[in-house]
Structure 1
């Protein structure tokens, strides 16, 4: 099958493209190699596809309407996995326009490409951040997501609503996956595990927000990829299950559309996560206690029962094994103890 994967220079996109190539699919990769974080890391990911007969790369920006139309018209993908986006919760306070350009306008261009060129299934990345002000755990697709706490989350909520409109109006099967705190080899330098690893090896203090009283559904990247690929092969149909007088928020009575949580159902305390990392590195961290950051939520916990029912999905990698694998990759990739010299956004 010919599959367009956006964001193949990114963390999850790289892993998804690798898995699809391994199973024999043809992958059209699209990425603009933005400088939000270290571009050399993105180039190193893409280098793994050099010379692969099943991979074709397009250097393009999601917000470039003509380039996106050309990508669809030229390559005619049968299915699309849309993972490219401006990521990061806190960076939106510095550069909000790029979030709307990439995540909203860019997503519109993806939807239009799918509609105009007969794509038979669009799988797109959403986020647990859409749960926003919700405090009832675990987070379930049946809960309201009307109160996002960050612009990033708001753009992803917009994606879900835009996809439902296209599914209804044009019969485009759409599946949105709400990722919960993904980590693992080739991860993003702006995320906690990467930042903590670098700081510990450099002898610098860890900036621990909310005084470490976080719990997260940390999910190893291979478990995310497994869910993405399983759902790619299962285009949704119109689901007529209703909840009271309105459709279930995670599905639809009028469109081939579905939203799923994808993550680990066993949340881990942040201090436990740090403790595991210290053991893997053989180093002791110095902790700098800080208050909760604006837009952060204290806890996340994923209810993935719907995905388990739909695709027999169950995460396999526990946090101790996952962190160990990341540390092995990190030391191997950087080839020395201290790792990269980067700021809080992971730029060199």
Structure 2
């Protein structure tokens, strides 16, 4: 008998006593931000273990946006052609709930795409593609922008821009033993890396819109730290923040759970993450060893553990209840606790 993925995951062991279970598929608990250094902590191994547990019960449930590894473990290509599929639809009718949200989010992806291309060329967006507009009662923004591209005179600039538009027709994800992964570009300039992240978020957002049959998803996002730190151009940071915010919004309106696993704290404080897990950081925008932060956290045992090199120890914070838990988080053997679920149903 195949067991359901809608069951709590035991992710750690409380330092005082007991286990820490995460009801990850429940909407109120579906937003988890994990902050910590990739090398000094168990953060990445923990997220891998979570994904493997979920994939063991449903191979179609887990998606990653990651730049933390190569593609050596891929088992096959998983192309998404969802961006242009969504662009073929007009704006929702006036009586559609959250109509403005859909319109604004779709427009954000299209205009951010153009903005990043313009930045890469050192141009203004209106100079890059003059006359870019669309007819919302008939189509999405990219369709209209494509018409503006067709009107341009032939030139190397038009050829390059056409290639960028063509890249949206299919976004390649890859099947692995830990779920489907989009491997971010980490070798290009900042604009290219931001474009890579934007396309990944865009394709997942539109992929969710294509779903006809209910499916519980777990999306794990590992944004590149270099796109989030304070010294990054504000334009790029704003695009990253909004893209992550849109993925976060999916947890409120669809059966999607988001784990944002990051080496930086931005933009977590501005977004609606109920659960936050903090490990030790390094070269980040959040220094836990800063006296002000240390006094604010006020958990001496946390710092004593880190001083002993216990990099699996972290602080779990529940924004809804205000509670904080000190626990040893598992880098393996993260498992479903079906008995706990049955006990709670019986109560």
Q: Fold-level match, TM-score > 0.5?
A: no
Higher relative contact order (CA 8 A, sep 6+): 2
Larger Rg: 2
| Range into which the TM-score falls when normalised by the shorter chain | 0.3 to 0.5
Instruction: Return the TM-score normalized by structure 2.
Output: 0.34
Instruction: Return the TM-score normalized by structure 1.
Output: 0.34
